[in-house]
Amino acid sequence: MTRSWHVAALSLALLLLAGAAATAAEIDAKRLMNADKEADNWLTYHGSYKSWHYSALADINTKNVGSLREAWSHVASRSVRGLQSYPLAADGVLYYSGSYNQVWALDGATGEVLWQYKQKLNEDLVAKQTHSPYNRGIALGYGNVYMGTLDGKLAAIDMKTGKLKWETKLVNSEKLTVGFTGAPLLVKDKVIVGAQGGEWPDRGPIFGVDANTGKQLWRFYTAGGEENNGDARNTWLNDSWRTGGGGGWMAGGYDPDTNTVWWGTANPAPLYDWSGPDWKTAGARPGDNLYTTSVILLDPDTGKLKGYHQEVPHDAWDFDSATGEFIMLERGGKKYVVHPSKSGFVWVYDRNAKVQNVWRLIKNINFVQDIKPNGELVGRRDMTAGKHENLCPFIAGGMSWNMGSYNPKTGLLYKVGNEWCMDLEIVKTTPILEPMAQLNIGANFNITNPKGDKAHGHVSGRDPITGKLTWEVKFPEPPLASLLSTGGDLLFVPDPRGWLRAYDARTGKELWKHNNGQGHNGGIISYRAKGKQYIAVATGWGGLAGDDYPSFFGGVFAQMPKDSGVLKVFALP
């Protein structure tokens, strides 16, 4: 073939591609339902409703990853507490959010800025917030970018122009100090978004909003439920449901087969309880405290509670269930939902939330002796007021909110595990019957090494149903960023010190690494733009888990910036 013919063919191909992008179908319910079949795109926080965090693209693979190079980068302004969000890619455009509810749309091939959006925020309010000013992700659909805001709104931003189309106030953040930091989930024509909760006032609501008009359609209170909709206030004696907690601060999942939204909820408040073993009748919040530290099943159209499983009844350790993705799997004709949690255990459900198995991702667990395969907690360590040593895992969790990755080619679930413990002194608090605008934790504590070991992290590849280990790699500090596995048999692990590494997904052999200059605490995706495969990763350090690293681990963390964020994008030369 002659050179000129080659060039002509190439430009024709590019024209066709550009044309395809320009006329790409709107992201609607149907496209989202089939997002896992669009290898070129990454349309939702969890990749697709299967929540695999997997890209089928294989241009970059075990054979050529050694020559992976940085293609372009984008600096996210005002990245206070780093860059914790997840990029999305649709039809050649990359969208991502950053601190203070900023959003960028970039040309996926060149990084050129198409538009930038900055939410108007009350800075006095943001200054009062503890879990702020980061944003962890956005949703795409119906020509909009959807984002939950620090001041309690859901905003719809025009995907083409970056202009605000509408915003709906859902939470009175001015009164309660909490807002939204997690990504919304788009289901059909409803945007579903969960508020912060946990050790906070209010009762951790989850909302359903009309994706086109912005009208609030429903609300579900995770702490205590609602009258005529899963009222569970009798699981909080002495009206302690008023203290609140719960919330769903990470994006949940969706099972199209049963039209069910799955959402993980956070801990009750106060976070620690001085009740000891008498927690059913004594302490700050006697009872099971439904629906905190639970997995709840909601009808996306009405918000009606369809079912639930409380993973940790009366959570007294902050091992909440808000963190884990809902991985939809099929094996041997049976359908499963796999849900990792902060406790260090991984729950395996059928599609009706009936527990099928529970397995351990980490070694250092002693807040219970065990959780049986049927979900029953055995040998709970319910603490009374006073000093307690060597509670494992540490409050930041045996797993954090960073996502794992399931690779259908290897059949393995890749997940970060954290090995660390804590000493604490539980303080007896006065029962609080009204919401408070401050943290409600109820203990002093410090992080410790596990007995006879050093605190560390690991990434392993395991069978998602049984937990059977295929390989494991250790890290001197727990990685706090999400993982990506690909059709090229690769697993990408962004680490806290700044290294981005690629491993052989089958063996765990390290094949490539690159130093991004600062720690990772966000998402990673793969997509194709103008015919080329890219890997995009959020870099930037300083989240609330990582903030313990300088004092505990020292080393490179002592000088790592906590107000810097860069999106880095890699490709083959």
Partner 1 sequence: MQSGRHTPGTNDNPSTAPASPSATGPASDFDVNQLFASTCGWCHLKGGREAGKGPKLADTQLADGEIIARIRNGKPGQMPAFGSAFNDEQLKAIVGYIRGLKP
Stretch of 58-66, 111-119, 296-304, 547-555 contacting partner 1, by CB under 8 A: 547-555
Q: Provide long-range contacts, Cβ within 8 A and 24+ apart, for 551-557.
A: 552/447, 552/455, 553/455, 553/476, 553/477, 555/497, 556/497, 556/498, 557/477, 557/496, 557/519
The one among 34, 77, 122, 130 contacting ligand HEC by CB under 6 A:
130
The one among 114, 437, 439, 447 contacting ligand HEC by CB under 6 A:
439
Stretch of 51-59, 126-134, 203-211, 298-306 contacting partner 1, by CB under 8 A: 126-134
The one among 548, 556, 561, 572 contacting partner 1 by CB under 8 A:
548
Within 260-289, which residues bind partner 1 (CB under 8 A)? 270
* Residue 23 contact, options ligand HEC, partner 1, none, Cβ 5-8 Å cut-off depending on partner type: none
- CA contacts within 13 A on the Cβ side of 448: 16
Instruction: Give the distance, in angstroms, between the CA of residue 432 and the centroid of all CA atoms in the same chain.
Output: 30
Contact call for residues 60 and 485 (beta carbons, < 8 A): no
Contact call for residues 59 and 488 (beta carbons, < 8 A): yes
Q: What residue number has its CB nearest to ligand HEC? A: 130
Q: What's the min distance (Å) between Cβ of 106 and partner 1?
A: 24
Q: What's the min distance (Å) between Cβ of 298 and ligand HEC?
A: 31
Among 478, 444, 443, residue whose Cα is nearest residue 460: 478
Instruction: Give the distance, in angstroms, between the CA of residue 216 and the centroid of all CA atoms in the same chain.
Output: 24
Q: Provide long-range contacts, Cβ within 8 A and 24+ apart, for 504-509.
A: 504/62, 505/407, 505/409, 505/410, 505/412, 505/414, 505/461, 506/410, 506/461, 506/470, 507/471, 508/461, 508/470, 508/471, 508/472, 508/473
Q: How many residues does the chain have?
A: 573
Nearer of residues 111 and 442 to partner 1, judged by Cβ: 442
d(CA 220, CA 228): 11
Cα angle, residue 39 at apex, residues 38 and 42 outer, rounded to 5° = 80
Number of residues located near ligand HEC, criterion CB under 6 A: 2
Interface mask toward ligand HEC for 380-409; x: CB under 6 A: ------------------------------
The one among 21, 544, 556, 572 contacting partner 1 by CB under 8 A:
544
Q: What's the min distance (Å) between Cβ of 547 and ligand HEC?
A: 7
Nearer of residues 439 and 572 to ligand HEC, judged by Cβ: 439
Q: What type of residue is 42?
A: W
Nearer of residues 298 and 385 to partner 1, judged by Cβ: 385
Position 444 contacts ligand HEC (CB under 6 A): no
Q: What type of residue is 103?
A: V
Q: What's the min distance (Å) between Cβ of 439 and ligand HEC?
A: 6
Within 173-212, which residues bind ligand HEC (CB under 6 A)? none
Contact call for residues 569 and 107 (beta carbons, < 8 A): no
The one among 243, 275, 293, 460 contacting partner 1 by CB under 8 A:
243
Nearer of residues 39 and 80 to ligand HEC, judged by Cβ: 80
Nearer of residues 439 and 556 to partner 1, judged by Cβ: 439
Q: Return the structure tokens found at 165.
A: 């189309």
Decide: helix, strand or coil at residue 550: helix
Stretch of 171-179, 212-220, 292-300, 499-507 contacting partner 1, by CB under 8 A: 171-179
- DSSP letter string over 253-290? EEETTTTEEEEE---BSSSS--BGGGTTTSSSS-S--T
Q: What's the min distance (Å) between Cβ of 130 and ligand HEC?
A: 5
Among 79, 215, 89, 80, residue whose Cα is nearest residue 145: 89
Residues that bind partner 1 (CB under 8 A): 80-81, 99, 124, 126-130, 132-133, 174-177, 201, 243, 270, 395, 425, 427-430, 432-447, 542, 544, 547-548, 551-552, 562-563
Q: Contact residues for ligand HEC (CB under 6 A)? A: 130, 439
